[in-house]
Homo-oligomer: A and B are copies of this chain.
Amino acid sequence: MKTILRTGLALAAALVIAAPAAAAGKTMAEVLEASKPTDWRTLDPENTLYLELGSGRVVIELAPQFAPKHVENVRALVRGKYFDGLTIVRSQDNFVVQWADPADADHKKPLGAAKKTLEPEFERRAAGIKFIALPDPDTYAPQTGFVDGFPAARDKADGTAWPVHCYAMVGAGRDNGVDTGPGTEIYVVSGHAPRQLDRNVALFGRVVYGMEWLAVMPRGPAPMGFYTKAEDRVPIREIRVAADVPADQRTKLELLRTDTQTFTDLIEARRNRQDEWYKYKANRIDVCNVPLPVRLAK
């Protein structure tokens, strides 16, 4: 059967430009095959959310290194069972899926211990984070790369860094005021990276498993993909902090560390595909096109 991607291991006698020796001629499958156990990390249960839908579990890794106050507030909302029984309110094609209190214009559901407003956490000081830079130019930022598994950007000129709006990134929807996004409305990027949102809103996590359950939400008929009928809104059974879930009910994942030679090799394998299928090698990669491998622990 014809496919538009091949994962075969046959190596083409290919033109490899500027590839580090370690990665030259390797496919991503081969790079992962050669990975060491120490190249992989597990999730911190305190920084992991389980969003339970009827269709399946969505696992979100939180990013306190970028948005500590938002992470803390979302955790308080989750532990106060704020989201349980709420619904997906919006699915806009090629943009975002969002959940919230459908009746929350006046915050009908009490926020419990969580705050109603939060100061913006749209960017941070670049100092103090380990930034794994990509070699290629980016349309939007002076430099892109990865911080602890999250796609990110930085500007050496002004000393700031920020997570970027790639597919599966999770943020706190807000109104026009910069402090109006306390995490009561959560969106997940479900289309081509809407990078215009970078530095405008607090990204506080990323879906690392189960993104397909959110991605296939029927698109809502109203402007911006909002649903208009209550029965079209998919219910959220519950959201839990993984640490509060019995160990035997947790989803045991391993994520490839982005501060490893293996990840650097993976980037190179994706910049210049070694599969025989590829006739023209890009010799470039966009930060949102770099896969962030996740596997179920054995």
Contacts and interface: CB of A to CB of B under 8 A. Distances in A.
Given A140-B284, A216-B219, A284-B139, A192 B176 contact: no
Q: Chain A: interface secondary structure? A: loop
Nearest to A174: B2
B139 A280 contact: no
Contacts of A192: 166-167, 191-193, 288-289
A132 interface: no
Chain A, interface residues (CB within 8 Å), range = 35 or more
A57 interface: no
Interface in A184-212: 184-185, 187, 191-201, 211-212
A179 B44 CA distance: 49
A157 B288 CA distance: 27
Given A4-B171, A7-B223, A212 B93 contact: yes
A5 interface: yes
Interface stretch (A60-68, A74-82, A94-102): A94-102
A240 interface: no
A285 interface: yes
Interface stretch (A45-53, A241-249, A255-263, A270-278): A270-278
Contacts of A119: none
A95 B288 CA distance: 12
A293 interface: no
Contacts of A211: 93-94
Contacts of A284: 139-140
Contacts of A279: 122, 178, 199-200
A195 to B, nearest CB: 6
A33 interface: no
A92 B181 CA distance: 32
B216 A122 contact: no
A196 B278 contact: yes
A173 interface: yes
A38 interface: no
Contacts of A278: 196, 200
Contact of A198 (B194, B196, B223, B282): B282
Given A4-B174, A192-B289, 7 more contacts: A1-B89, A4-B173, A6-B176, A93-B212, A195-B282, A196-B289, A215-B216
14 contacts: A1-B89, A2-B104, A3-B90, A4-B98, A4-B173, A4-B187, A5-B224, A93-B212, A122-B279, A136-B139, A137-B139, A139-B285, A199-B280, A216-B216
Interface of A: 1-7, 89-90, 93-96, 98, 100, 104-105, 122, 136-140, 166-168, 171, 173-176, 178, 180-181, 184-185, 187, 191-201, 211-212, 215-219, 223-224, 270, 273, 276-280, 282, 284-286, 288-289
5 closest A-B pairs (Cβ-Cβ)?
A212-B219, A199-B280, A4-B173, A139-B286, A93-B212
